[in-house]
Amino acid sequence: GIQVEQSPPDLILQEGANSTLRCNFSDSVNNLQWFHQNPWGQLINLFYIPSGTKQNGRLSATTVATERYSLLYISSSQTTDSGVYFCAGGNNNDMRFGAGTRLTVKP
């Protein structure tokens, strides 16, 4: 099955800094999502982005499907951005998760 690698595993930022999270896939995918898992375990949908670029406020994402990777950009980070960010993807509805990036934003 599809292997999903996320980097970095951990990231510590000062409030206001920008960051880039990466997700690599072992094979091509037609289904790709980015999530933020809050401290209570709820997965919040950030982007559904099998290809192209999308933006939502301070967050944006780009997927280069031909090169099998996706990037999540967080600008002007806030303490409330802290948590674990997961990417997940696969073919059709068979979606596999990466190991996540644990982001800590310090005031």
C-alpha Rg value of the chain to the nearest Å:
13
- 11 or 98: CB nearest other proteins: 98
Contact region for other proteins (CB under 8 A) — 12-20, 42-50, 52-60, 70-78? 42-50
| Integer angstrom CA distances of residue 42 from 25, 71, 85, 95, 107 | 24, 22, 11, 18, 24
Asked whether the bond before 8 is cis by omega within 30 degrees of 0, the reply is yes
- Is residue 35 a contact partner of residue 23, using CB atoms and an 8 Å limit? no
- Give the nearest distance from C-beta 56 to other proteins in angstroms: 14
Beta bridge mates, 105: 13
DSSP state of 80: G
Q: Is 66 in the site for other proteins (CB under 8 A)?
A: no
In the shown chain, the binding pattern of residues 84 to 103 toward other proteins, with x for contact by CB under 8 A and - for none, equals --x-x---xxxxxxxxx---
- Give the nearest distance from C-beta 106 to other proteins in angstroms: 20
Widest distance between CA atoms in the chain? 41
Contact region for other proteins (CB under 8 A) — 10-18, 33-41, 51-59, 69-77? 33-41
Site residues (CB under 8 A) for other proteins? 30-31, 33, 35, 40-43, 45, 48, 86, 88, 92-100
